[in-house]
């Protein structure tokens, strides 16, 4: 679908794999990015910003693979971010080349504070660079998006000039970012209204918005922008992203879905129109949220709107009574509308490999042979421990397999001794990257602490454990426990994830997962950051 021809609905631009991945500790490998991209396509997003190709070889590979495998003719537009330099734009174009519908998203700052302290350039220079680089991007792809970084704190008159020149140079989408989450809804709405009224050729481009949640106003800002003419929303699953994150996709989509009658007139529709305002399959929201949470290691707080564990829970007796009599007394939407269905038993210990593969495909997972084999073995092990296996159990197994990084360090054995009058002691055996196996032991304040100390005696990579959490996938004493941890090394965060009916084993897996991520990053070097590493060379 050509999103440019559908301005009467809201275009959903997902930047989970670019801005969302810039969250501290949310680094994803290529396979994980590909898995999320496939799910975003099933969700129905119009545009996937797959990454910043110039940042690192890994980012380039991820964007290229997503362009190849997800950027099909009937799939979403695949977008790559590029600073306003020829090198960035050329690299993005190469990575995006396999996509049926490709977009280059280039940007340059326009606020005086960014011009003076970051770019060290004058307004005159930016007025020359922006259209030149838009035109250069246009020489590679027809679909070019331009963003004036920190538009929310830019002088409106200067902003209008930059946007007019970018559109004249070929930009088909103009994105207005509240880069630091500074604006309030009325200010953001006024900014969009001013652009519509003062940029002469604005009708030749779609107005997009991008915003951070530093003051907790990102979603409200976007909805006000829609009322004033914005037709593309740049958002992330679970609202992840730098600092306080981005506008949350699920919150925006459900606000437009539940309050459709209110927003219809702003899009020129009859108030009672039942046509959806977005292309999103809302029944995929909960699953997508869980996948992103599991793969990034960023947990969703229980009271999170739409996808939090308590979003449809009622503890108050008055509320419970009302919901039992009629759901609409205290629920403005149905849990099933976001894909939160009854946790039905689907497979058991006698189920075969084909039934297992078929059910995974029904859940949206299409695994390669090796991944399927590993996941099936995990399923059989689980089936010996649990009589009843749910879809959520299956998703935990599959997400754990998808999430695996190269096992440069592999935990071969773990044994723990603990009790109320015993000193918790752990013995571990770890296989090193050279194939050597080392065994060591340690005493800790608890069994998990003992395991981590023992592993650290073998794997000598300095780190600090910042966060440790355990969540039950389903109810019951035999439930799978998902462990998520976050490590800090120097100024960077690394997440790890493990799932098992034994939380000690899951804790060990999560720690090794995080250590392997840390070690892999140290081997590959530091990736560029699109905003922080944005000192531009002179444009010839």
CA nearest to 196, candidates 171, 221, 170, 231: 231
Cα–Cα distance between 131 and 162 in angstroms, integer? 8
First to last CA, the chain: 37
Architecture per CATH, domain 13-296, reads as Alpha-Beta Barrel (3.20)
Tell me the backbone φ, ψ of residue 168, rounded to 5 degrees.
-60, -30
Q: How many Cα neighbours within 13 Å face the side chain of 7? A: 14
DSSP tag of 414: E
Q: The tokens 């089936």 sit on which residue?
A: 383
Q: How many Cα neighbours within 13 Å face the side chain of 300? A: 25
Q: The tokens 């190269």 sit on which residue?
A: 406
Residue 99: predicted pLDDT:
98
**Which ranges of 102-172 does DSSP label H, i.e. alpha helix?**
112-114, 123-138, 156-168
Would you state the structure tokens that stand for residue 540, as one six-digit string?
């010839």
Each domain of the chain, given as residue ranges in start order, spans 13-296, 345-402, 410-524
CA nearest to 496, candidates 520, 512, 481, 475: 512
Question: Is-contact 402 32, C-beta < 8 A?
Answer: yes
Residue 53: predicted pLDDT:
96
The residues pairing with 136 across neighbouring beta strands, listed in sequence order, are none
Cα–Cα distance between 213 and 235 in angstroms, integer? 11
3-state helix/strand/coil string of 275-303: CCCCCCCHHHHHHHHHHHHHHHCCCCCCC
Cα–Cα distance between 196 and 311 in angstroms, integer? 37
Residue 341: predicted pLDDT:
65
Mean pLDDT in order along the chain per 10 residues (540 residues):
58 96 80 92 97 93 97 98 97 98 97 91 96 98 97 96 98 97 97 98 97 97 98 98 95 97 96 96 93 86 88 53 51 79 61 82 77 85 76 76 76 92 94 93 95 94 91 73 88 85 91 90 80 54
Please state the CATH superfamily assignment of the domain spanning residues 410-524 in this structure. Answer: Alpha-isopropylmalate synthase LeuA, regulatory domain (3.30.160.270)
Using DSSP's 3-state secondary structure scheme, residue 77 falls into strand
Tell me the backbone φ, ψ of residue 392, rounded to 5 degrees.
-65, -35
The torsion defined by the Cα of 42, 103, 94 and 521, in degrees rounded to 10, comes to -60
Q: How far is CA 381 from the centre of its chain?
A: 31
Cα–Cα distance between 142 and 156 in angstroms, integer? 28
Would you state the structure tokens that stand for residue 530, as one six-digit string?
């699109």
């Amino acid at each position: 679908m050509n999103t440019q021809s559908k301005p009467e609905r809201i275009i959903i631009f997902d930047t989970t794999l670019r801005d969302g991945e810039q969250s501290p500790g949310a680094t994803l490998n290529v396979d994980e990015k590909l898995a999320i991209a496939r799910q975003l396509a099933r969700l129905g997003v119009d545009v996937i910003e797959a990454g910043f190709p110039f940042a690192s070889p890994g980012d380039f590979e991820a964007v290229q693979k997503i362009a190849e495998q997800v950027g099909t003719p009937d799939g979403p537009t695949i977008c790559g971010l590029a600073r306003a330099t020829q090198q960035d734009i050329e690299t993005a174009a190469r990575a995006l080349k396999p996509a049926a519908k490709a977009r280059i998203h280039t940007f340059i700052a326009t606020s005086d504070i960014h011009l003076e302290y970051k770019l060290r350039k004058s307004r005159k220079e930016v007025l020359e660079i922006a259209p030149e680089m838009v035109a250069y991007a246009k020489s590679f792809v027809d679909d070019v998006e331009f963003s004036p970084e920190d538009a929310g704190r830019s002088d409106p008159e200067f902003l209008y000039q930059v946007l007019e020149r970018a559109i004249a140079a070929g930009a088909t989408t103009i994105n207005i970012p509240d880069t630091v989450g500074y604006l309030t809804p009325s200010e953001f709405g006024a900014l969009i209204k001013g652009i519509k009224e003062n940029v002469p050729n604005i009708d030749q481009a779609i107005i997009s918005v991008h915003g951070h949640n530093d003051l907790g106003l990102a979603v409200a800002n976007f909805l006000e922008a829609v009322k004033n003419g914005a037709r593309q929303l740049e958002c992330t699953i679970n609202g992840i992203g730098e600092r306080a994150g981005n506008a949350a996709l699920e919150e925006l989509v459900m606000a437009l879905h539940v309050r459709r009658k209110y927003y219809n007139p702003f899009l020129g529709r009859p108030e009672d129109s039942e046509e959806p305002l977005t292309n999103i399959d809302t029944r995929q929201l909960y699953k997508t949220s869980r996948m992103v949470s599991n793969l990034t290691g960023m947990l969703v707080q229980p009271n999170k709107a739409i996808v939090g564990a308590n979003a449809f829970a009622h503890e108050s007796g008055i509320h419970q009574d009302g919901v039992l009599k009629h759901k609409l007394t205290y629920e403005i939407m149905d849990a099933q509308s976001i894909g939160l269905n009854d946790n039905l038993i689907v497979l058991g210990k006698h189920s075969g490999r084909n039934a297992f593969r078929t059910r995974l495909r029904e859940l949206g997972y299409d695994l390669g042979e090796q991944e399927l084999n590993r996941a099936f073995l995990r399923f059989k092990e689980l089936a010996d421990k649990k009589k009843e296996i749910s879809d959520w159990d299956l998703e935990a197994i599959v997400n754990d397999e998808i999430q695996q990084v190269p096992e440069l360090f592999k935990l071969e054995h773990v044994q723990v001794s603990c009790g109320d009058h015993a000193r918790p002691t752990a013995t571990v055996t770890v296989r090193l990257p050279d194939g050597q196996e080392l065994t060591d032991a340690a005493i800790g304040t608890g069994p998990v602490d003992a395991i981590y100390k023992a592993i650290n005696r073998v794997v000598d990579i300095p780190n600090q454990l910042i966060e440790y959490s355990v969540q039950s996938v389903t109810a019951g004493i035999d439930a799978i426990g998902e462990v998520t941890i976050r490590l800090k090394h120097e100024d960077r965060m690394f997440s790890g994830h493990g799932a098992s009916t034994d939380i000690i084993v899951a804790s060990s897996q999560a720690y090794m997962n995080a250590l392997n991520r840390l070690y892999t990053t140290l081997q590959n070097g530091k990736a560029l950051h699109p905003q922080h590493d944005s000192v531009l060379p002179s444009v010839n």
